[in-house]
Amino acid sequence: MDNENLTSPALWVDQYADKLYNFALKKVFSEQLAEDLVQETFLSALQARANFKGESSELTWLISILKNKVVDSFRKEKLSIIDTPEDDFFKENGHWKSKPIPIAFEEVNPLEKKELNKVLAQCLSKLPNLWKVVFSLKYMDDSSAEEICAQLDITKANYWVIIHRSKLNLRACLQKKWL
């Protein structure tokens, strides 16, 4: 048996897995991907264990590994900015294909609010992961456009395109499901 001290990897899962999972979940928005990232983090940490000098807490060290994994997963997905088929909302001259129905996306009472959040979650989940991440950085971490672009290694122009297309997609999805 290994030395049963705090740094024994056998205890990592009980001590850190949920913390890492929640950290990842806030960044990547997908439970499946967050699980994968936690697993990859532990595996990388096992290999890098010899280099860990204990200068920071073990959790801080693991989170720094996880952060790199998160950024890598965005980079892998970067193609999706360019590869997504041109949205279907406009004609060739740029005019709307169909009239946006002027419904209000606002909650009136607590019950509706809950329902609206449910619908919104469904609609958000259909977006490509990179787009979701942009939203989670923007809204959850209050990151500026500059910070988001730097962190995800995307250009400002791409950032606007992602926001624009995401909102168009969300609008269409909400119109369909909330009406």
Partner 1 sequence: MGWIKENRNDCKSATFLIEKQQVTALTFSEKIKLKVHLYGCSWCETYGRQSKSMHLIIANFFNQTLTKPKVLQEDFKNKLKILITDKLKEN
Which residues are near partner 1 by CB under 8 A?
2, 9-10, 12-14, 17-18, 21-22, 25-26, 31, 35, 38-39, 42-43, 46, 89-90, 93-96, 99-107, 116-117, 120-121, 124, 135-136, 139-140, 145, 160, 163-164, 167-168, 170-171, 174
Tokens, residue 126: 């259909």
Shortest reach from residue 78's CB to partner 1, in Å = 20
- DSSP string for residues in 59-88: HHHHHHHHHHHHHHHHHHHTHHHHHSPPPS
Token pair for 164: 């624009």
Closest contact distance (angstroms) between CB of 138 and partner 1 is 8
CA distance 11 to 4: 9
Return the number of the residue (85 or 102) whose C-beta is nearest partner 1: 102
Judged by beta carbon, residue 75 or residue 167, the one nearer partner 1 is 167
Toward partner 1, which CB reaches closer, 93 or 109? 93
Partnered with residue 96 across adjacent β-strands are 90
Please say which residue, 49 or 75, places its beta carbon nearer to partner 1: 49
Q: Cβ of residue 52: shortest distance to partner 1, in angstroms?
A: 15
Q: Smallest distance, Å, CB 35 to partner 1?
A: 6
Nearer Cβ to partner 1, position 9 or 75?
A: 9
- Which of these, 26, 23, 33, lies nearest to 62 by C-alpha position? 23
Compute the least distance from the CB of residue 79 to partner 1, in Å. 22
CA within 13 Å, CB half, 36 = 10
76 alpha-carbon distance from chain centroid:
13
- Read off the DSSP letter of residue 101: P
Polymer length in residues for the chain: 179
